[in-house]
Chains A and B, each alone.
Chain A
Amino acid sequence: MKVLVVEDEVGLAESIAAHLTKDGFITETVFSYEAAVEKINLYTYDCVVVDINLPDGIGFDIVETLKNLKASSGIIIISARNALEDKIKSLDIGSDDYLTKPFHLSELNARVKSLLRRRHFGGSNEIAFQEIKVNYIARKVFVNNTEVALSKKEYDLLLYFMSNIDVALTKSAMAEHLWGDNIDSADSFDMLYSHIKNLRKKLTDKGSKDYIQSIYGIGYKFAKS
């Protein structure tokens, strides 16, 4: 899976690339509009992450170029502008997702994966981790092939975990993923805690090992050991 990151803030581009590479993506980074256009004309990417504000151009134009090339790449726009018009415009011209800066790397990771899942419809519609299998078309979860009944939020949480395996996830990132940023953090952390408790119980009850690890002061991690 190849991902192109177009972001002029070098540090941020590096961070994103490092995070995605860790998850098994082949990641390339470019810091300017020119370089991005050159890259997309030469190579094919499964996903392109584009910042709107670039020193020598606007991210929207990269999306247009991709559309003109009839490239099948998924497109995620990242922008510091939280303006509704920008969101609408991005989706109008054919981007698949829009993330407002600052965002959690784990959130971007989950969005990229979700996008790729949607793109490669023909292939497998399951993701698996050890004895846990998730059919994301039917939104069903199986442990050792027995179905586990999860609530909507528990399902979202599990999918988020499985998109970020072996990554330390902060409580803020998880709460924001589940509820957006409208809900007060104190309450959402409490609710997150109870969802994690329930999810853990439901999975282990069906014979799964407990993969959800607590990290002191930070949050959680979904990993083998």
Chain B
Amino acid sequence: MKLFDRTNFYYIVFSVVIYILVGVSFYLVVERVIYQEVEDRLKVERRDFENFIGVHGVWDESCYFVENKIELTPLNDTLQQFAAFKDTLLYNRYNNEYVPFREYSFARTVNGVPHKVSIRKSLIESKKLLKSITGIMMVVLSLGLLILFIFQRRIARRIWAPFYDTLTRARSFDLNEGKGLSLTKEQIFEFNELNSVLNKVTDKIARDYTSLKEFTENASHEIQTPLALINSRVEELIQQRNFSDEQMRWIQDIYQSALRLSKLHQALLLLSKIEHGQFFESETMDLGRLIEQKLEEFEEIFNHKALRVSVTLTEPFTVQMSPVLADVLITNLLNNAVKHNVQGGEINIVVSAAGVALSNTGASLTTNPERLFERFKKQNQTSASLGLGLAIVKKICDSYHLTINYGVNQNLHTLQLGRSQVL
């Protein structure tokens, strides 16, 4: 529900309630006033009537017409003083309809006989007056309300315009541009505050993002350069002939460690780049086809380890993702399947529309399967492997709404890649 609609809804409900209350109370008040007036006049007529009785001793009905009818009813029992007002309907013989009257009844002895005297006054004029006054008032009131409502809508739209403008700009905020929203100054204090807060926040995000990106790039340069120097110097050392076998082994250790450090650093850099979403380009990648292409590259190592590889492609499994990361994903999965395989084992790959299942034979896990995708979780802690392959796989999956699950069935380990349910 939009802000306008919400405020209008409350506004309308509130106005209608007030409108009805005002209408009803107005009606009641006016009616009260009219009754008061009519009753006052009835009391005056009673005095007239009493004077008449006092002078003439009898009541002559003929001097009154329909309108102000006075009716006398003899009472059987003894005189008991009472006086009461009530509403009543009397038949109008000209109009053939019942007409509302206000009746004032009291007891009075006429001609020595107790009588109930009823003086009536027609309310028809007063009722009509009441109705038309109330009607006019309601019409004027509702017109006023309508005008107010339209006016309020217009004003709200104008007042909130900068807010919606800000919202649109914020929605199209792109980190890649490397700068904040730079929203303009507004006249309304709150919106101005909002804009300046948003400006500050987005500026900071953009700045942090840029510096982070620069940092990863610079760190990469600063760390790889000395490593390159170590490696090249060691390679030069190796060319010397006058080392003992033991010294050669040390040199070899230095060399391997420097290489390993560099690979480790590159893998960590890749992880942080994925984490910070620095892979923007995205294409529709058919992972099944990509696997087929990759298998050619891996053929030699399959032969070397005498692995039987079977691939079943039922339906294409396509993912909208960075081609670089798709390549890394598949390479890491295949590498993993080879690395933990046994000589003469097998690899089965099934690609369907639901996902990719990659299973390989291998020794049972020594690590906790739940921690398989964590960094530096290695089957064999002393192995030369970096222990980052599956962590990278997991990170890539996470950033493209894919799931990766591990399952094992009699030394056949399966990694199942699928789409996550919630997108």
Identify the A interface with B (CB < 8 A).
9, 11-12, 15-16, 18-19, 22, 53, 80-84, 100-106, 153, 167-168, 170, 172-173, 179, 181-188, 190-191, 194, 215-218
**Contact across chains for A216 and B301 when beta carbons are under 8 A apart:** no
For A84, the closest partner residue in chain B by CB is B324
User: For the complex, is B88 an interface residue (Cβ under 8 Å from A)?
Assistant: no
Q: Interface residues of B, CB < 8 Å — how many?
A: 45
User: For the complex, is B401 an interface residue (Cβ under 8 Å from A)?
Assistant: no
For A51, the closest partner residue in chain B by CB is B225
How close is A175's CB to chain B, nearest CB, in angstroms? 11
- Report if A102-B220 is in contact (Cβ < 8 Å); known contacts: A153-B300, A181-B263: no
A53 to B221, CA, bound (A): 8
- Report if A12-B232 is in contact (Cβ < 8 Å); known contacts: A172-B255, A184-B339: yes
How close is B258's CB to chain A, nearest CB, in angstroms? 7
**Contact across chains for A12 and B229 when beta carbons are under 8 A apart:** yes
- Report if A102-B221 is in contact (Cβ < 8 Å); known contacts: A184-B335, A187-B304, A217-B248: no
A182 to B300, CA, bound (A): 13
**Contact across chains for A101 and B301 when beta carbons are under 8 A apart:** no
A9 to B221, CA, bound (A): 11
Supplied contacts A101-B225, A153-B300, A218-B251, 16 more A-B pairs, CB within 8 Å = A11-B229, A19-B232, A19-B235, A80-B220, A83-B217, A102-B258, A102-B259, A103-B228, A104-B231, A106-B235, A170-B235, A184-B335, A191-B300, A194-B304, A216-B248, A217-B252
**Contact across chains for A102 and B232 when beta carbons are under 8 A apart:** yes
Identify the B interface with A (CB < 8 A).
217, 220-233, 235-236, 238-239, 245, 248-249, 251-252, 255-256, 258-259, 262-263, 266, 269, 297, 300-301, 304-305, 324, 331, 335, 338-339, 383-385
**Contact across chains for B324 and A168 when beta carbons are under 8 A apart:** no
For A167, the closest partner residue in chain B by CB is B239
**Contact across chains for A15 and B259 when beta carbons are under 8 A apart:** no
Cβ-defined partner of A190 (8 Å) among B245, B304, B383, B384? B304
For A176, the closest partner residue in chain B by CB is B259
A84 to B335, CA, bound (A): 21
Cβ-defined partner of B252 (8 Å) among A22, A100, A191, A218? A218
| 8 interchain pairs, CB-CB under 8 A | A12-B232, A102-B228, A102-B262, A170-B255, A172-B256, A172-B259, A181-B263, A184-B385
